[in-house]
Every structure is written in structure tokens, then in C-alpha cells.
Amino acid sequence: MRLSDLKTGEKGVIVKVLGHGGFRKRIVEMGFIKGKVVQVLLNAPLQDPVKYKVMGYEVSLRHEEAEMIEVISVSEAEKLQQEELMQASDAVRGKLAEERPMTDKQLKAAAMKKRRIINVALVGNPNCGKTSLFNFASGAHERVGNYSGVTVDAKEGTAFFEGYEFRLVDLPGTYSLSAYSPEEMYVRRQIIDKTPDFVINVIDSSNLERNLYLTTQLVDMNLRMVCALNMFDELEARGDKLDLRTLGVLFGVPMIPTVFKTGKGVDLLFHIIINMYEGMDFLDKDGNINPEVARDLQEWHKSYEGKHGGDHEEDYSHGTRPNKSVYRHIHLNHGVYIEDAISKLYEELQREDSLRHKYSMRYLAIKLLEMDAHAEKLVGTLSNGKQILAVRDAAAANIQKELKEDSETAVMNAKYAFIHGALQEAGYEEGTKMDTYQVTHILDHFITHKYFGFPLFFVLIFMMFWVTFTLGQYPMDWIDTGVAALGDWVGRVMPDGPLRDMVVDGIIAGVGAVIVFLPQILILYAFISFMEDSGYMARAAFIMDRLMHKMGVHGKSFIPLIMGFGCNVPAVMATRTIESRRSRLITMLVLPLMSCSARLPIYIMITSTFFALKYRSWIMISLYFIGIVMAVLMSRIFSRYVVKGDDVPFVMELPPYRFPTGKAMFRHTWEKGKQYLKKMGGIILVASVIVWALGYFPHHEELTPQEQQEQSYIGRIGKTIEPAFRAQGFDWKLDVGLLAGVGAKEIVASTMGVLYAGDETVADDEEADSVKYANLHKKMSADGITPLVAFCFLLFVLLYFPCIATIAAIKNESGSWKWALFTVIYTTGLAWIVSAVVYQVGRLMGF
């Protein structure tokens, strides 16, 4: 509970103070020290200030400030005590005997216990190893991927270490904390609003300069943090020289070498975090540790002696002064002109204290000079907001005059200059012993080659689909035979009646028509996982960049688009890595035209039914191709006429190639396969039963199956909408399939499976497959469906309404129903027009 929640007269014990270093320091100096009892003298709701008594003094705080202090109230402590008593064995219970009212000592013990939960945020560039640390420490299985943007949400996990509970939050990767991309804003908000106790800044030590840029911004924010110099194995293999301690001192942040892939350095990292968390707020002006705090720390330290390597840099547990302390809050020097501007702004910002508990004023001043929109908005809420912005504008103009660059660039350059200098001072020398990226460099020479790159890429994509379809055929046949045998068997053992018909013709036929594609989907996902994890996907984006620009989007849009071939939903979510909102939106809008694997079942069913073997793969390829062409056309149209706005330039990352581990690949593939199976058990099962029921009722035994279907509910629905699809030559059964596919596209296939299920006798021989399709061919041809109609039907399936899940994802990611609705309308319209045109032209040409 927060101090602001205590009512007048109530008592509590301080657990911890949240927020940035400047704020914590001020509050601790007022006497709000962990474990101390506070009493509320006066807390009137909505009335500032609130009066407290702490350590014998009366102090007043503003409401927002009291909100940043975590306390444990007497009643909370009592509740905890009772819980403990309930759990304790009889023998222990005697010793724990309840005492009322609780003594201050007991209260303090309860507070200190609660304090042992540390909220830690993992912040760092994409691909630096945050998720690897998260997984290693918490035992989670979050996705580790070798391209940027794998983590798009905050993931939470818990780790236990030396008596403390670490609540880890794995945040999306960012290069900076400006307000350009949604991730950057997201990470900023997480840090400011969720007020983690600690930040672990994960750094890829093979790319120090760029990674430290983010560090400089975190330093500005005055956070309690450590840097994990991750991938230290690679740095050592290269033989780089770097004095970590010096670098740490220069930044005022401990720099801990780590290898998160194996977990090396994690113990030391956590040990140092505990040290800093418990010690660093409690130093007096001369740098001596508060003796009470020191005693607690030493006690804790003794019980874990020797468990975390001998000497460590940041230690508050020896003697009265911190041992080899590296941590200090530095004001990163931006050079005279910028510093001058900062101090002018600082002075102006200081006049108002309503933001002080949340933001370091220096940080806000720097952000304002960076022309940060969010900071401007914040400052706008202050009474002297206009004044502050006027000061900023004058200062920025001065910087422009003196440095001949705009203040935003000037701040950035100053930060890089700082980093460069710090590295120089820390004796940073890139080793020559071995180029860890030698392989990467050689490979990139070919893979991103001007002339070879493209053909190689197409060969790979072609291989991917070819292997998927040919190799996938075998397990597919097995499952198919299994499903048929199951249907047969159930049909024989169950008594006649609607229930048997529902199980055989509804559930087994419907779900069976879809489940057979699981192997192919797994193979496709295995390929995509391999390309992502190895780093090839990032190259593909690089190769495609120029082409993508012609579509009006960025190279970065390419990864989501390729993912769309698997499933559109995660693909829509993956667009978050695209910095420019405009590119993002366009990518999202055209994504449904990427033929997702849910459409495969119906493609295969229809092509196998209507086309000779040698044409089948061409029909398939043509569908994928038409989808891509439409995506290109649409995105050109959208970028020109529909989605307005400017683009922001950004870096395109090329992570080093890494050979994906079998385990990771297996997991990634399986995760996706699992989603597919889940869908099967859920929406597809339900839809199959509904479609079956609509076709079964009203039921008349004496009718032939065809007559039965025509007069059933589904037949009536299909007949009603039939005129709408006359231009495409679809009959009512096809219309019903399309209607059912709105839920999920697999349902088109399962619906057809149900609609055409029935009296055929499945042969047990090797020809089962061709017999099945021959049967289907007979039935569908009898309905007047020609290959041309069948092809137009596939075109319609390809282009129309993406499934409900995709629409929901677009709504979430674009932030409004507007774009989701737009997608529904344009895709369906496009499908209608394209299939009508193809049908009419095809008919004229005599197909």
C-alpha cells in the first residue's frame, strides 16, 4: 500500500521509496527511511499537503509524493502475521505467538520482508539478450530470436536469489528513448509510470558505441541501474581490450560482464543489484553508510558469503563506507552551449513542483531540447508552461547559432562524443585475435550481394514452399487415412441417429479436413523459425528494402509480411517494430493479402479436386503470387491516397548470423503449431458442428442427401445470398463456405468437407486419396462447378475478409475500429471484383 492510502491517525512502516534518484534522495533525507514508522497526522482527501510524523519530526508531503512511498500498514502486517501462523507447524506457532498490538519491531520485520521484492525492468537495444536473461533467471520460455522486435510486450517473471524475489519485466528492445516508435514510448512509460526499483540495462558488448547511447539516456533519467555487458564471450573471443571498471566509473554505473546464453555473470549481477538497492540511498554527505542499514546488509551478506565470487565492484556491506563504489549519479556533459541551455531550462522547470516526483528535471530539460513531443505536452500542463517553451526555443536558437546544428542533433552528437571519449579512456581497443563476425561478414558478402542476393532469396523461398508441400504430403496422407478410418469406425459402432451423424459428418469430417494440414504448417513454421533465428530474415528485409520502398513501405515491413504466410495475427502484431506509423499502418492493411496457412486447406482441397497433378503447384503458386501482387498494388494506392504522413528514417539492423539451436527451433515451431491445434479444438470444432446442424435440420429421412441439403437451413441461407455471387458463378454451397470462413479461413475447407460428406465408401487402398478427390470432383461437377469457377472461388478465399482474429488484431494495433472496418470492406470488395473479372474474362475465353 502507498503512504497516501493511510488515513489520519493510522500508522505504517516504510517499505521503500519509488521513483528517480533525485526524488528518492530528497524523501530519504526527510527521514523516510526503510523500516521506520510513520504516523499520519493529517490526511484530508483531495487536500494538499499531507502531514506526517516520522522519526519524531513533523513533515509534510504532497499527495503525489506520498503516493511514491510504499508502506505496510498495521492491519496489513497483522494479516501477514496471521497467514504465517496458519502455515507454521504447531511447534513453531508457539514461538511466533500472536502479539497484539504488534510491536514496532514486528512491524519493521514485516516491512523489511516486503522490501525483499525487487521490481526490475530489463532495458536494452533489440537483440542484446534481454529475453535470454529473462528466461535464464525466471525459468520462462519466452521467445529468443535473432532479429529485432521479437519481444513486443512486457513479459513478467520471477527469480529468487539470496533471499530476494526479483520481479523481472522483459521490455521491448529500443535504441533510444525518444518518442518516435511505439516501443520507445512504451518503454518510457513503463519506466516512469511503473516505477521499477531497478533497471538492468543490457548491452551487446560487440556493439558498445550504439548500445551505450541508450545508457546515456537512462543516466539522464537518474535511475537506479546496472549495465550488463552481455555477449562478453564474443568480446573476449575477439580479443577486445576494455577496462570495465573505468567505463563503469565514467558512466557512474557498474558494468558487469555477462553471457546470458549460459547464465554466466547473472549471480554477480543480482548480488550487486541487492547491494545497491539496499545500500545506495542511505549514504550521508560524507559517503558513510547509515549504520543501521549497514548492519542489516552485513548480516544478509554474511549468510551468503562466498556464493557469488569473491571481489565485487559495488558493495555496501563492508565497513562504514561503500567498498569500491562505482555508482554515482553523473551529469553527462553535453558541452558548454547545451549545458548552458539545460541549466536555463532547469531553473525555469524548478519553479513548479508538480512533476518533480516523477521526472528528473534535468532529464526533462534535455528532452525539451531534443524537441520531444511528449515532454512538451507534459510541460504544457504546468502553469508556467508557455514560459518554459519560450526559454527552450530561445536556447535552441542559440545552440543552432553556435553549433550550426539543430538542438536535437546537437544533443545526440554530444552524447556520442561522450561515449566515444569514455570508451577511449577505458582503453577500448578492438582486438585482432579473431573476428567473431568473420563468418557473418563473409556470408553477408554473398547474401546481401547486389546481384546474387535476390536470386538466392527467391530460391530459398521457393525451396521453403516446395519442401513444405512435398515433404508434408507424407504425414498428411497418414493423418488423412487415420481420420477416414476413425470416421468409418465411429460410423459402425455408434447407433444410427442424429448424434452419429453429427460426430461423423460434423465433427470428424469438419475437423479432419483441417487437421491434415498440421504437418505442412509445422514444416512451414520450422522454416520461418530457422530464418528468423539464424538472422537471415533480417537480411531478407535488407535485400527487399528498395523494393519495399517502391510499395511505399520500409524494408522492415518485410518480416511481418513473410510472417503473414504463417498466420496474419502474429504478423499484425509484429508490425510494431516499424518506426514509422504510416508504414506500419499500410503494412497492417495489406497483410491479410498474404496468404496465411489457414487458407491452405481449401487451396489443396480444391486444386486436388479440379486440377491435374502437374498443374497443382502452379495453381498454388499463382494464388500466392496474386496475393503478393495485390498487396503491392494496394500498398501503393494506400501510401499515395489513403494513409498520409511523413516517414522517419531509421537504421536497418543486421544481427550477426547465429546457428539456431535445435531446441529453440523446436519450441518456436511447436508454439505456432499449438495455436493451430487450439483453434482446431475451439472455433473450428464449434463451426463444424454449427455448419453440420444447419445442413441437417430440418431433417427428412426420405430425401436424397442433395435434396436434404437444399431444403436445410444452410441451403436456404446459401440460396438467399446466391444472387450476390452470380457474377462469379458461385453456387449456394460455395457461398455458404465463404460465409463460414469469416470466423476462420480453415472453416471454408471444413465446411466444404461437411457439405460434401456423405455416402462415399472410402477405399482402404493406396488410391484412397485420389478416390476421395474423384468423389468430390463428381459431386462438385454435378453442381455445375467448372475449374474456372473453382479457381475464382480460390481467388475469393485468398482476398476476402481476413478472419475475425486478424480484424481484432488490426483494431488493437492501429488503435481504432476505423482501420479494422476499412480492412474488412476493402478486402471483400477487392475479392468480389477480382474474382468476378477473372470469371467473366475466363468465360469469354472459353474456359
Residues that bind ligand GDP (CB under 6 A): 124, 126-132, 144-146, 150-151, 173, 230-231, 233-234, 259-261, 658
| Smallest separation, CB 145 to ligand GDP (Å) | 5
210 makes contact, choosing from ligand GDP, Mg ion, none, with CB < 5 to 8 Å by partner type, with none
Residue 563's alpha-carbon distances to 203, 537, 629, in angstroms, are: 28, 10, 17
| Total residues interacting with Mg ion, rule: CB under 5 A | 4
Q: Which is nearer to ligand GDP, 266 or 630 (CB)?
A: 266
| Smallest separation, CB 232 to ligand GDP (Å) | 6
The closest of 172, 204, 202 to 188, measured between CA atoms, is 172
- Binder to Mg ion among 81, 151, 557, 814 (CB under 5 A)? 151
| Smallest separation, CB 264 to Mg ion (Å) | 19
| Smallest separation, CB 694 to ligand GDP (Å) | 47
| Smallest separation, CB 240 to ligand GDP (Å) | 14
Q: Which is nearer to ligand GDP, 659 or 817 (CB)?
A: 659
Q: Which is nearer to ligand GDP, 130 or 188 (CB)?
A: 130
Q: Which is nearer to ligand GDP, 149 or 472 (CB)?
A: 149
C-alpha atoms less than 13 angstroms from C-alpha of 631 in its C-beta half-sphere = 27
3-state helix/strand/coil string of 433-483: CCCCCHHHHHHHHHHCCCCCHHHHHHHHHHHHHHHHHHHHHHHHHHHHHHH
261 makes contact, choosing from Mg ion, ligand GDP, none, with CB < 5 to 8 Å by partner type, with ligand GDP
State how far the Cα of 794 lies from the Cα of 610, in Å rounded to an integer.
12
| Smallest separation, CB 138 to Mg ion (Å) | 13
| Smallest separation, CB 128 to ligand GDP (Å) | 4
Q: Which is nearer to ligand GDP, 183 or 505 (CB)?
A: 183
- Binder to Mg ion among 73, 81, 131, 775 (CB under 5 A)? 131
| Amino acid (1-letter code) at residue 451 | Y
Stretch binding Mg ion (CB under 5 A), from 123-131, 181-189, 290-298, 781-789: 123-131
| Smallest separation, CB 129 to ligand GDP (Å) | 3
Stretch binding Mg ion (CB under 5 A), from 129-137, 366-374, 581-589, 753-761: 129-137
Q: Which is nearer to Mg ion, 151 or 568 (CB)?
A: 151
145 makes contact, choosing from Mg ion, ligand GDP, none, with CB < 5 to 8 Å by partner type, with ligand GDP
279 makes contact, choosing from ligand GDP, Mg ion, none, with CB < 5 to 8 Å by partner type, with none
231 makes contact, choosing from ligand GDP, Mg ion, none, with CB < 5 to 8 Å by partner type, with ligand GDP
129 makes contact, choosing from ligand GDP, Mg ion, none, with CB < 5 to 8 Å by partner type, with ligand GDP
State how far the Cα of 503 lies from the Cα of 689, in Å rounded to an integer.
8
State how far the Cα of 273 lies from the Cα of 267, in Å rounded to an integer.
10
| Smallest separation, CB 603 to ligand GDP (Å) | 34
146 makes contact, choosing from Mg ion, ligand GDP, none, with CB < 5 to 8 Å by partner type, with ligand GDP
Are β-strands 69-73 and 117-124 bridged in parallel, bridged antiparallel, or unpaired? Answer: unpaired
SS3 487: helix
Strand segments (E) across 153-236: 155-161, 164-170, 198-204, 225-230
Q: Which residues 6+ apart lie within 8 Å of 210 measured at CB?
A: 125, 175
State how far the Cα of 735 lies from the Cα of 694, in Å rounded to an integer.
14
Site membership for Mg ion, residue 595 (CB under 5 A) = no
Q: Which is nearer to ligand GDP, 133 or 426 (CB)?
A: 133
Q: Which is nearer to ligand GDP, 128 or 326 (CB)?
A: 128
Q: Which is nearer to ligand GDP, 205 or 712 (CB)?
A: 205
Q: Which is nearer to Mg ion, 153 or 425 (CB)?
A: 153
Are β-strands 11-17 and 37-42 bridged in parallel, bridged antiparallel, or unpaired? Answer: antiparallel
7 makes contact, choosing from Mg ion, ligand GDP, none, with CB < 5 to 8 Å by partner type, with none
| Smallest separation, CB 668 to ligand GDP (Å) | 11
The closest of 148, 129, 114, 107 to 12, measured between CA atoms, is 107
Please calculate the CA angle 532-538-541 and round it to the nearest 5 degrees: 120
Measured from the Cβ of residue 357, the count of other Cβ atoms closer than 10 Å reads 23
DSSP per residue, 623-682: HHHHHHHHHHHHHHHIIIIIS-----------PPP-PPPHHHHHHHHHHHHHHHHHHIII
| Smallest separation, CB 539 to ligand GDP (Å) | 15
Q: Which is nearer to ligand GDP, 173 or 487 (CB)?
A: 173
Q: Which is nearer to Mg ion, 123 or 332 (CB)?
A: 123
As a dihedral over the C-alpha atoms of residue 28, residue 29, residue 33, residue 36, rounded to 10 degrees, the angle is -140
Q: Which is nearer to ligand GDP, 128 or 255 (CB)?
A: 128
State how far the Cα of 525 lies from the Cα of 537, in Å rounded to an integer.
13
824 makes contact, choosing from ligand GDP, Mg ion, none, with CB < 5 to 8 Å by partner type, with none
C-alpha atoms less than 13 angstroms from C-alpha of 242 in its C-beta half-sphere = 26
Q: Distance of alpha carbon 630 from its chain centroid, rounded?
A: 28
| Smallest separation, CB 176 to ligand GDP (Å) | 15
260 makes contact, choosing from ligand GDP, Mg ion, none, with CB < 5 to 8 Å by partner type, with ligand GDP
234 makes contact, choosing from Mg ion, ligand GDP, none, with CB < 5 to 8 Å by partner type, with ligand GDP
| Smallest separation, CB 560 to Mg ion (Å) | 17
Please calculate the CA angle 369-219-165 and round it to the nearest 5 degrees: 140
Bridge partners (DSSP) of residue 241 are 429
Q: Which is nearer to ligand GDP, 170 or 348 (CB)?
A: 170
R_g of the chain, CA atoms, integer Å: 32
C-alpha atoms less than 13 angstroms from C-alpha of 756 in its C-beta half-sphere = 25
Q: How far apart are the first and last CA of the chain?
A: 74
| Smallest separation, CB 230 to ligand GDP (Å) | 5
Q: Which is nearer to ligand GDP, 132 or 835 (CB)?
A: 132
> Which uninterrupted H or E stretch holds 73?
strand 69-73
Asked, as a colleague might, if the bond just before 698 is cis with ω within 30 of 0, I would say yes
Q: Which is nearer to ligand GDP, 263 or 842 (CB)?
A: 263
Contact string 544-583 vs Mg ion (x = CB under 5 A): ----------------------------------------
Stretch binding Mg ion (CB under 5 A), from 125-133, 257-265, 351-359, 472-480: 125-133
| Amino acid (1-letter code) at residue 73 | S
| Smallest separation, CB 35 to Mg ion (Å) | 36
36 exposure class (CB count in 10 Å sphere: 0-12, 13-18, 19+): middle
* Neighbour order of strands in the sheet with 57-61: 57-61, 50-54, 37-42, 11-17, 69-73
State how far the Cα of 484 lies from the Cα of 754, in Å rounded to an integer.
13
| Smallest separation, CB 141 to ligand GDP (Å) | 12
230 makes contact, choosing from Mg ion, ligand GDP, none, with CB < 5 to 8 Å by partner type, with ligand GDP
132 makes contact, choosing from ligand GDP, Mg ion, none, with CB < 5 to 8 Å by partner type, with ligand GDP
| Smallest separation, CB 206 to ligand GDP (Å) | 9
SS3 70: strand
Q: Which is nearer to ligand GDP, 149 or 802 (CB)?
A: 149
Cβ 469 vs Cβ 270: under 8 Å: no
Are β-strands 117-124 and 155-161 bridged in parallel, bridged antiparallel, or unpaired? Answer: unpaired
Counts for the chain of helices (H) and strands (E), in that order: 38, 11
597 makes contact, choosing from ligand GDP, Mg ion, none, with CB < 5 to 8 Å by partner type, with none
Q: Which residues bind Mg ion (CB under 5 A)?
A: 130-131, 150-151
